[in-house]
Chain A
């Protein structure tokens, strides 16, 4: 399992109700259902992802996150999760508000645009960074709201959100063996930001 998903799975209590926004192929929810009897639902809009979810028995709802989450009642879930998706939604600020309306806690992961490789790319090449975890060109990227650790911290501060935990996942985040950690100079060396937030 992807190391960021393993990290999330550790934070979720057995039998919890979990909403996964942008659930992809359902890997996290399949794991949570198997190991923690979680009552989980994933939202996605990609046909292949939805078919993969159906194949593995994951509850998946075809819903465009940008059209709002009004169909989910306040406090109707224990945890809302959004991995590697916040940067592609139309309004990340409203999205975080919605997540913490639907559940008391949420987990957000996103690529850190402040990573030294991004900075170096822009500084030395003078063009928008393209990297393994940010593979698109500026004109076709779904990642329309890229931010850095620092930027996201400011949003949390402005919203007076409770940051329960912040972690850094390094560039090898797709390797099962890479260990997430708290780390100095996170904004420079962390490839993926991991935030566990509460109201």
Chain B
């Protein structure tokens, strides 16, 4: 038996099989843009153990198309683990030997939490397009109720990439004393005009699909699959860098030969078809519209005449920002804008710009320096929060 109290050194492993749980909140939630939800469900997963003083909890906030299944597998036969399995697990950057990790599907999602696919108690029909507009602030409010339910008064860290980072920032604004650290990865304090424009095109692809029926496709027994496919294809190429696409597909031809009179199909086209198809089968169109709208609307500085320093002055958390050199949708400059504001406000902040060829998608990938930096930061956090 070992006589010292040092944590066991284990090689990084997986969280193994996990089961989602559901938090049923029966208290009404008033929404920022008007209206309310009389009740709601949030589906979530947890990894690791909550310690006795509940000081080792980390909340993971998901991005546009994410959900509660961040790590591990639901069944041995699952082809892929959760979406952030590269970072969450025993001995990984978000170390489940030390931290209790909570991930959920946001309100308005399509993976089990209350959203457009849920039944509207007022009408006994599915919400569909009648699901109210939810904002990042509404998400934070609903997540705070989940934290209350789980007995977490204060998170050691709230971590998110992209839209997830916006939620971490909103937490730091709305509940300054309920988190030690906010980790904002490939994120921004507001979308650029170009980003809103991309979202507009993606939404137009969906709403102009003949099967969309003003969002009431379920009543017509159809899905706006073509629209979702195009939306996903557009999104997908903007999440990658020019270099990453060229490196992966080049000008390789998948099929066809003009000499034989058959149409050429490039490898990249086939890939986009596959991605679009897979997405259109798993994702709800109304949720896509709602999530991109929440992205567009996020702008905490708007209440302060655009003064981001005034926003950070409301916060007390330590901030870590990680951005990626080739990310042109949430460029390193957006993180720099936030770190500048945090410094002006006297907040603790660090920002590392990770050299990665994979564009915005880097935050989901095992980029060594990124994983290292996140792990180094959280290792320190585990010490100061007694995790």
Contact = CB atoms under 8 A, between A and B. Distances in A.
A57 interface: yes
B384 A57 contact: yes
Interface string A40-53: 01000001001111
Interface in B315-370: 320, 336, 339-340, 343-344, 346, 348-353, 369
A54 B346 contact: no
B353 A62 contact: yes
Contact of B352 (A39, A58, A62): A62
A61 B350 contact: yes
Nearest to B337: A71
A71 B336 contact: yes
Nearest to B340: A71
A26 B349 CA distance: 14
A56 B344 contact: no
Contacts, number: 51
B372 interface: yes
Nearest to A40: B348
A137 B352 CA distance: 30
A42 B316 CA distance: 20
A39 B348 CA distance: 8
Contacts of B373: 50-51, 54
A94 to B, nearest CB: 20
The A contact surface, by secondary structure, is mixed
A59 interface: yes
B376 interface: yes
B377 interface: yes
Given A47-B369, A61-B339, A71-B336, A54 B352 contact: yes
Interface string A120-142: 00000000000000000000000
A54 B320 contact: yes
B376 A62 contact: no
B348 A59 contact: yes
A41 B372 CA distance: 21
A51 B343 contact: no
A59 B351 CA distance: 8
A39 B380 contact: no
A76 interface: yes
B379 interface: yes
Nearest to A50: B352
A159 to B, nearest CB: 26
Contacts of B377: 54-55
Contacts of B384: 57
Given A41-B343, A54-B376, A54-B380, A59 B350 contact: yes
A17 interface: yes
Contacts of A61: 339, 343, 349-351
Contacts of B376: 51-52, 54-55
Interface string A74-99: 00100000000000000000000000
A54 B322 CA distance: 12
B318 to A, nearest CB: 8
A55 B380 contact: yes
Contacts of B344: 73, 76
A58 B384 CA distance: 13
A169 interface: no
B151 to A, nearest CB: 27
A50 to B, nearest CB: 5
A50 B373 CA distance: 8
A21 interface: no
Contacts of A28: none
A59 B353 CA distance: 14
A39 B342 CA distance: 12
A41 B369 CA distance: 21
B349 A59 contact: yes
Contacts of A55: 376-377, 379-380
16 contacts: A17-B346, A41-B349, A51-B373, A52-B376, A53-B350, A54-B352, A54-B377, A54-B380, A55-B376, A59-B349, A59-B350, A61-B339, A61-B343, A61-B351, A72-B343, A76-B343
Interface of A: 17, 39, 41, 47, 50-63, 71-73, 76
Interface of B: 320, 336, 339-340, 343-344, 346, 348-353, 369, 372-373, 376-377, 379-380, 384
Given A47-B352, A52-B376, A54-B350, 14 more contacts: A17-B346, A47-B369, A51-B369, A51-B373, A54-B352, A55-B376, A55-B377, A59-B348, A60-B352, A61-B343, A61-B350, A62-B353, A72-B343, A76-B343
